[in-house]
Structure 1
Amino acid sequence: MISIPRQPIRRRATSGSGTIRALVAALLWLCLSAPALAHLTPNSEIRLDFAPGLVKADVVVPQAEFGYATGLATDNRPGSLAKAKARVLADMAVLDAQGRPWRIAVDRIAFEQIAGPPDLHLELSLSPPPGASDRALLWRWHVVTREAPSHFALLVVDGDLAGGVRGERELIGALTAGRSELLVDRGRASLGSLFGNAFGLGAHHIAEGYDHLLFLLALLLPAPLLAAGGRWGAARPARETFRKLAWIVTAFTIGHSTTLILAAFFGVRLPAQPVEAGIAFSVLVSAIHAARPLFPGKEPVVAALFGLVHGLAFATLVSNFGLGAVTRATAILGFNLGIEAVQLGVVLVALPLLIALSRWRHGPATRLVLAGLTGIAALVWLAERLGLS
């Protein structure tokens, strides 16, 4: 056991706590300073996302065509939006197999523009009639197509977690003046398939989430080392290193699992851009810490703190996990276990390499190079996500 004088411990704890307070302040600034992102489509488009008991629809209609066809004002004044909402709902319907209407709730409506002509965006929540299947519907559409026969609306399934669609777009067909109805039938699904597909979605997302993994790996990079005099010094015993790694990974898991649950059950959200900027910032902080200790001994706290931000990046994926508590809990469990499976695999591969690096004579130089490359990547991401490049 290594004996460390008490006074330096107090100084390091104070410094670490101050650093963590500064990180919290920086995260708040990132989350409050950047606008949300939008998107653009050339023709009308209806994207469906199926979940147990619920279908989410993202409807996009070109603003110019909508104004021409309806003669309505196309601005974001409350009166204009109310008339646009009423017109869209009057010109569409969603029916079950017996012709009964689904309940349609407009969660959001706005005229928005990114890099070209603006669109009318509507976010809808669709609920089937009592006793009807939540996986089969008839979509009826006359918005713009009645007045402009050359116009069409693409109907696509953007997500069906229980049925196996995990972000791949599946085209159902085109709604035109001559073909105003399309049947969407997703077949049957079970809790088992929901769990399995959610597991695959979680594993796929974290495997492709290079920034998530890079944050964790950079934070683990100095874990086999002891901090002394503002630098990383002697190697930590292997057993202590394993314990340190376990605490960091567990804290990160608790952090992102917390915001996953808050997003799925309580609708906690932040715009995508500040969340992604916060993730890039977390990678930068972990890279600096890998080079020079910023918060020695506080790594689990920082992992949990940034884990909350990383979890918010998954919020859009878990938002449509269904209406029932059982289905949401099943999907959340599968999704989270998929994330943890990949994370655990990465850590198990990295553990012997990290220990070997801490004992290699060129280890310090290699660690600094890795930290520097990680920091450069983080700065590039941060500039892009804040719109500075």
Structure 2
Amino acid sequence: MSWLRLIMMATALFILASHAKAHLTPNSEVNLDFGQQQAVADIIVPQGEYAFATGNPVRNSPDSLAKAKAYLIGHMAVTTPQGRPWRLVIDRIEFVQIAGPPDLHAVVRLIPPQGVTVRRLAIDWRVVIDTVPNHFVLFVVRSDFAGGRLDKERQVLGALQGARHRLVIDRGTASSLKGFQAAFALGMRHIAEGHDHLLFLFALLLPAPLLAAGGVWRGARTIRMALWQITKIVSAFTAGHSLTLIGAAFFDWHLPPQPVEIGIALSILISAIHAWRPLFPGHEPIVAAGFGLVHGLAFATVVARFGLDIQEKALSILGFNLGIEAVQLIVVLAAMPSLLMLSRTRFYPACRSISALVAGLAAIAWLVERLVGYANPFAQGIDMLLGHAGYGIAALTIGAAVAFLLNGGRVADTAR
């Protein structure tokens, strides 16, 4: 192989590896998902190259799809590294425009012989590359629970071109613990980076230490009552998003992203208004559970790729949920002592109103952004500030301690 060809392949590999969202180049791509008993190959072959290599029609007619299926089966083989053949089952085949020019798209199950691990295999691939010399196919791991890979960063395994048509894959030893740890870390990262989820929870917790009377927040709950209210709110939110996570993983519950994101922004706006003036006093846990269902639908886009088997999905959801709860618990434990102290001072009405205003403005900015589909500077600024929320909690803690001391440790009338 010439140096020029090596450089071209390396450049193409780099471009494709860095582009994790869509197939946009005129080369083929095989995305692999590894389960316990089988692997799944999501195959994309450019329609033009397929037609040139085969002379077959490219319509979604029974005859055209039958020829495409026969061509794929006849030009790809999967075996153990020692040569024992695997069984290939094509579950879906279609001509479709995924991104860029139209493609031949197929989903193929790769099933090893009885008693053979799914984690070591050899792929013999001659689709298009045996006819079109400059065409290559990129092999990528999209998900591998037992290998601890669940995030969006795809792992490039290699590329085949021309006379090089065999790729040996070794995914190492399977480990459920690796998958659980990866799901836990992904849950922590997802909620930590999900500023809207945490802002909703914070806005709902702002009035948790208070009692409502006459359409205003008046007086403070006892510490025990406040802690119980906080526990109910956080638990209800957890129950809500856990339900939709389970539904997404096992029953394919999902909605288009835009209405879900709009619903999340609305949940923050409503919670911010409630923090300013009571809208549903005493019913915060019910509201948290209801909006938790909406927030869970946003998490559902992540869990949809969690494992191919029931056990893997269950462990993934458990780890992902525990990761979310770990961050939520850290946020609650960090913020609530300050809010409890402030709620017993004359300074809390102003603090609560300003916090509610900031949350409401952030919600409106996100709502506009998600309705029109374009980023706006204010929403981007809010995201940037919330990325440094730890400093805000530290400032809140110091301010709460000072306010409590200035107030002489006495409970003040917080009617507003």
| TM-score when normalising by structure 2 | 0.74
Greater alpha carbon shift after TM alignment, 75-84 vs 38-47: 75-84
Confirm or deny that 1:148 pairs with 2:132: yes
Q: What is the deviation of 1:158? A: 2.4
Q: What is the deviation of 1:227? A: 2.5
The number of equivalent residue pairs is: 351
Unaligned runs of 5+ in 1: 1-37
What code does the residue aligned with 1:347 have?
V
- Other-structure match for 1:373: 358
- Other-structure match for 2:167: 182
Structure 2 distance, partners of 1:61, 1:181, is 17
1:89-128 aligned at under 5 Å gives the runs 89-97=73-81, 98-107=83-92, 109=94, 111-114=96-99, 116-128=100-112
1:11-50 aligned at under 5 Å gives the runs 39-42=22-25, 43-50=27-34
Structure number with greater CO (CA < 8 Å, separation at least 6) is 1
- Other-structure match for 1:250: 235
| TM-score when normalising by structure 1 | 0.78
Greater alpha carbon shift after TM alignment, 189-198 vs 68-77: 68-77
Confirm or deny that 1:262 pairs with 2:268: no
- Other-structure match for 2:223: 238
1:1-389 aligned at under 5 Å gives the runs 39-42=22-25, 43-74=27-58, 83-97=67-81, 98-107=83-92, 109=94, 111-114=96-99, 116-167=100-151, 168-389=153-374
Kept after mapping to 1: 8 A contact 2:208/2:229: yes
Kept after mapping to 1: 8 A contact 2:130/2:163: no
Structure 1 distance, partners of 2:69, 2:256, is 24
What code does the residue aligned with 1:184 have?
I
Structure 1 distance, partners of 2:103, 2:182, is 33
Q: What is the deviation of 1:347? A: 1.0
Q: Pick closer, same or farther for the CA change 1:360–1:183 going to 2, 3 Å.
A: farther
SS in structure 1 of the partner of residue 154 of structure 2: strand
Q: Pick closer, same or farther for the CA change 1:236–1:327 going to 2, 3 Å.
A: same
Q: What is the deviation of 1:188? A: 0.8
What code does the residue aligned with 1:199 have?
F
Structure 2 distance, partners of 1:132, 1:231, is 67
Give CA-to-partner distance per residue, 1:119-142, whole Å, 9 cap, x none. Answer: 444444443332121222222323
What code does the residue aligned with 2:230 have?
L
Structure 2 distance, partners of 1:295, 1:122, is 50
Give CA-to-partner distance per residue, 1:54-113, whole Å, 9 cap, x none. Answer: 434333333443444444555666765565455444433333334312433435745125
Greater alpha carbon shift after TM alignment, 78-87 vs 209-218: 78-87
Q: Pick closer, same or farther for the CA change 1:318–1:105 going to 2, 3 Å.
A: farther
What code does the residue aligned with 2:24 have?
T
Give CA-to-partner distance per residue, 1:9-51, whole Å, 9 cap, x none. Answer: xxxxxxxxxxxxxxxxxxxxxxxxxxxxx84432322222323
Q: Pick closer, same or farther for the CA change 1:331–1:388 going to 2, 3 Å.
A: closer
Kept after mapping to 1: 8 A contact 2:90/2:106: no
Kept after mapping to 1: 8 A contact 2:35/2:309: no
Unaligned runs of 5+ in 2: 1-20, 375-416
What code does the residue aligned with 1:144 have?
V
Q: What is the deviation of 1:251? A: 0.8
Q: What is the deviation of 1:220? A: 1.4
Structure 2 distance, partners of 1:79, 1:273, is 38
- Structure 1 or 2, whichever has the larger Rg, is 2
**Identity level (%):** 54
Structure 2 distance, partners of 1:311, 1:233, is 33
Kept after mapping to 2: 8 A contact 1:88/1:143: yes
SS in structure 2 of the partner of residue 265 of structure 1: helix
Structure 1 distance, partners of 2:56, 2:362, is 47
Kept after mapping to 1: 8 A contact 2:29/2:44: yes
